[in-house]
A and B are shown apart, each in its own frame.
Chain A
Amino acid sequence: MQKEIKQTAVIGASAAGISAAIYLKRAKVDFILISKDLGGEMLTSGIVENYPGFIKTNGFELSKKFEEHLKYYQIDIEIDKEVIEVQKIENLFHIKTQEEIYFSKSIIISTGSKPKKLNVPGEEKLRNKGVSYCTVCDGPLFKNKIVAVIGGGNSANEAGIILSEIAQKVYVITKNERMKGDKIIIDQLLTKKNVELIYLGLTQEILGENKVEGLVYLDLKENKLKTLKVDGIFIHIGMQPNTYFIPKEWNILNEYKEIKVNKLMETEIEGVFAAGDVTDVPFKQIGIAVGQGITAALNNIRYLNRIQ
């Protein structure tokens, strides 16, 4: 059966996509919200203390609040639908998932990002066998064990703090000269007695057969390979945007594969808007994603009015 043509398709349902959907619904735009999941990477955010109106919450609770808001406006989501390809053919967008194809006159891409991999030997083989990208999920499995956090930003700092309460010993290994991120979190990490920070350390290999037994890193200060015995490794080295479905010929990605947008969340392709962590915005924050989602929706409405 031929699907109807929507005015807009919002791809991705986390902070940016949900905010856009709320604004589109209130403006009575005929749109569809398609997403692999609800909440995206926000779900794995541990404690959230910087989103206005919520003094202390977490990614899961916040995403549940967003879901409630969608339900309040009776916004349906095509959930569990991962977009695998998007095409623009004669001013009509064809949005393909494994199961279906959707059509729209414009799109808002808000597919967020996913954790970057180290791409070192042993990482893939030992995933979920001591290698984890979700400290909130798997951290508690390493009670009184020795673990390492790889990374040098906010997520790594937070992971270090969470694990310091669980594990016997926590190494935090960063390739940088110092930890980056919110000072309040770094200060908290530095007070933890069982945390050892290793600066200028470049992880080279994860060791183990059926489970993690250690890691090898290059000490950039001494230019020497060093081995640590650890039971678990938590990788928090940043995120990579979910832009794999965007046609190369659109040429809207920067060197980090983020979508280049202007201040109105427009891309170089007419009718294509983007918002949130998938864009080249330098600060990846829930609050910023919300604002970008709203901007994308409002500008999308203006665009739809213009083309009609």
Chain B
Amino acid sequence: MIKIYTTTHCPFCKLAKEFLTSHGFTFEEINVEENEAGFEEMVQKSGQYGVPVIDINGEIVIGFDIKRLKEILKIE
């Protein structure tokens, strides 16, 4: 299961979502700008006060890190 923590206008969040969609992955988006509990959850999981944060089955990716996403999702 993939969870992506975002804010409304964050360009890297949009790119990360596009990347996941274009590779056929579905995800749950949590806009931490609107969702306070989601924000707390993100901070607890990652220690980050920056977005995007992506949780792929417990593996945390900080930022739009294509290399790490490809590695975890086994994308060639």
Measured CB to CB, the residues of A under 8 A from B are 37, 39, 43-44, 46, 58-60, 63, 80, 127-130, 132, 134, 136-141, 143, 210-212, 232
A-B contact pairs, 18 of them (CB 8 A): A37-B15, A43-B11, A43-B12, A44-B11, A46-B9, A59-B11, A60-B14, A80-B67, A127-B50, A128-B49, A128-B50, A128-B63, A132-B49, A138-B50, A138-B51, A141-B32, A141-B49, A210-B47
Q: Which of B39, B50, B62, B67 contacts A137 (CB 8 A)?
A: B50
Does B13 sit within 8 A of A, measured CB to CB?
yes
Q: Determine the chain B residues whose CB is within 8 A of the CB of A58 once the complex forms.
A: 9
| A137 contacts B49, C-beta separation under 8 Å | no
With A129-B50, A211-B49 given, can you name 4 additional A-B contacts, CB distance below 8 Å? A43-B11, A44-B11, A60-B11, A137-B9
| B7 contacts A138, C-beta separation under 8 Å | yes
Q: Determine the chain A residues whose CB is within 8 A of the CB of B57 once the complex forms.
A: none
Q: Mark B10-22, 1 if CB is under 8 A from A, else 0.
A: 1111110000000
Task: Classify chain B: how many residues form its interface, as a range.
Answer: 20 to 34
**For the complex, what is the distance from the CA of A232 to the CA of B15, rounded to whole Å?**
24
Distance (Å) between the CB of A297 and the closest chain B CB? 26
- For chain A, what secondary structure do more than half of its interface residues adopt (helix, strand, loop), or is it mixed? mixed
Does B48 sit within 8 A of A, measured CB to CB?
yes
Query: Which single residue of chain A is at the shortest CB-CB distance from B18?
Result: A64
**For the complex, what is the distance from the CA of A134 to the CA of B11, rounded to whole Å?**
10
Number of A-B contacts (CB under 8 A): 65
**For the complex, what is the distance from the CA of A60 to the CA of B16, rounded to whole Å?**
13
| B47 contacts A136, C-beta separation under 8 Å | no
| A130 contacts B11, C-beta separation under 8 Å | no
| B10 contacts A80, C-beta separation under 8 Å | no
Q: Determine the chain A residues whose CB is within 8 A of the CB of B28 once the complex forms.
A: none
Interface residues of B in 19-76 (CB under 8 A from A): 32-33, 39, 47-51, 62-63, 66-67
> Across chains A and B, which 9 residue pairs bring their CB atoms closest together, nearest first?
A128-B50, A140-B33, A137-B10, A43-B11, A60-B11, A140-B7, A138-B50, A128-B48, A80-B66
